[in-house]
Amino acid sequence: MNKRTLSVAIALTLALSTGANVLAAPSASSSSTSLEQVKQQKQELEVKAEKMDNQITQTMNDLENNKKSIASISNNIKQTQANIDSAQKNMENQQQVFNQRVKAMYINGISSYLGVILNADNLNDFISRVDNVKKVMGFDKNVIGNLKDKKEQLANGKEKLNNENNKLLALKSENEKKLAKLNSDKESAKNVIASLDAQEKSLEVANQATLKAVASAASNVQQSASRGGSSIASSDAVVAYASNFLGVPYVWGGTSPSGFDCSGLVQYVYAHFGIDLPRTSQEQQTVGTAVSRDELQPGDLVFFGSPAYHVGIYVGGGQFINAPKTGDVVKIASLDNRSDFTGGRRVR
């Protein structure tokens, strides 16, 4: 490698190895927040917002049910009160009948039930009068007693309805407070999401600037290599060549610049340098020499899962180029955001 190629490769390596800082933009919480971190925070908040939407819907349903129950009990209370009023009126009417009977007896010279009995003409009449007085007194007592019992039962029923109504009103108030809190939290989440969205766009602008620098350096490396008459399978050249495909869409089973899947990208990049790798990430995990995370160098393959279900090309600074998933594009990601990293392989 001549001095020009070496200097360009070193510049490229430095750019990529400090990618975490290059891709960072100042924020309220940290001056080194990466684009991946912002996207992760935004995604977590969006999930929380979805959960809050579900809670809001449930709470609104609970409130609607509260209102229906309160309306139903309110009608029951009104009906019970009407029944109490009716029982009271019946009692008053019965009392009035009783008073009228006593008054009639008094006008006729008989001042009491006892007078009725004592006014008997003979023994048979006396016995008959005693029996009739008992019946009348029992009837009066039973009628008035039954009316009092009915009124008391209705009053107890009304009290229970009032207690239930108070509980429902308290639950309604609690649900209203809960709904207000959920709406407030959702609004706050929306504001934070909007802020993170703006930060994400800002970081993406910075990221694009970095990617342009990487692509420019990659082009210089490739031109230097071409002037040397051959492709150079150095770590810098591998990373530089791979960077040419940043932004290429993910295509399941894709093995060309029109669309890559993760292992298709790795296979295509290394084929450019005459190194034939197996097709799948699981097979690629068996070639070359194993390296730990601390030993990783630009150009090494990084694997996720065992057996591997994903692979990328390490670029330095804890970053790697990969074709992530359907709907995404070839891009640089951080190993720090992956808990499923299982090791690296050096195949150069």
Residue where a domain stops, chosen among 193, 222, 245: 193
Out of 9-18, 89-98, 142-151, 259-268, pick the least confident: 9-18
83 occurs within a structural domain? yes
**What does the pLDDT look like over 68-101, one tens digit per residue?**
998 998 898 889 888 888 878 877 777 777 666 6
13 occurs within a structural domain? no
130 and 181 inside one domain: yes
What six digits make up the tokens of 248? 């290429």
Q: Does 300 or 151 have the greater pLDDT score?
A: 300
236 and 330 inside one domain: yes
- Determine if the peptide bond prior to 307 is cis (ω within 30°): yes
155 and 270 inside one domain: no
186 and 273 inside one domain: no
Domain count, the chain: 2
Torsion angle (degrees, nearest 10) of CA 195, 196, 199, 204: -140
> Domain of 263?
231-346
pLDDT at 7 over 70: no
pLDDT at 132: 59
214 occurs within a structural domain? no
> Alpha-carbon torsion 315, 319, 323, 327, what sign?
negative
65 and 175 inside one domain: yes
Q: Does 294 or 103 have the greater pLDDT score?
A: 294
Give CA–CA dist 26/327, Å, rounded: 28
Q: Residue 315: enclosing H or E segment and its boundaries?
A: strand 310-316
159 and 241 inside one domain: no
4 occurs within a structural domain? no
98 and 150 inside one domain: yes
333 and 245 inside one domain: yes
pLDDT at 103: 60
16 occurs within a structural domain? no
Contact between residue 293 and residue 320 where contact means Cβ atoms under 8 Å apart: no
Contact between residue 285 and residue 345 where contact means Cβ atoms under 8 Å apart: yes
pLDDT at 16: 44
pLDDT at 116 over 60: no
pLDDT at 5 over 50: no
Q: Does 179 or 210 have the greater pLDDT score?
A: 179
82 and 182 inside one domain: yes
Q: Does 53 or 105 have the greater pLDDT score?
A: 53
**What does the pLDDT look like over 31-77, one tens digit per residue?**
345 777 888 888 888 888 878 877 888 888 888 998 999 899 889 88
Q: Does 145 or 55 have the greater pLDDT score?
A: 55
Cα distances from 120 to residues 107, 109, 126, 271, 272, in angstroms, run: 17, 13, 5, 133, 135
175 occurs within a structural domain? yes
**What does the pLDDT look like over 8-32, one tens digit per residue?**
443 444 444 444 333 333 333 333 4
Residue where a domain stops, chosen among 193, 223, 244: 193
CATH number at residue 299: 3.90.1720.10
Task: Classify strands 319-322 and 331-334 as parallel, antiparallel or unpaired.
Answer: antiparallel
307 and 189 inside one domain: no
246 occurs within a structural domain? yes
204 occurs within a structural domain? no
Q: Does 96 or 198 have the greater pLDDT score?
A: 198
Give the mean pLDDT of the chain. Answer: 77
57 and 189 inside one domain: yes
The crossing angle, in degrees rounded to 10, of helices 262-271 and 235-243 is: 120
179 and 61 inside one domain: yes
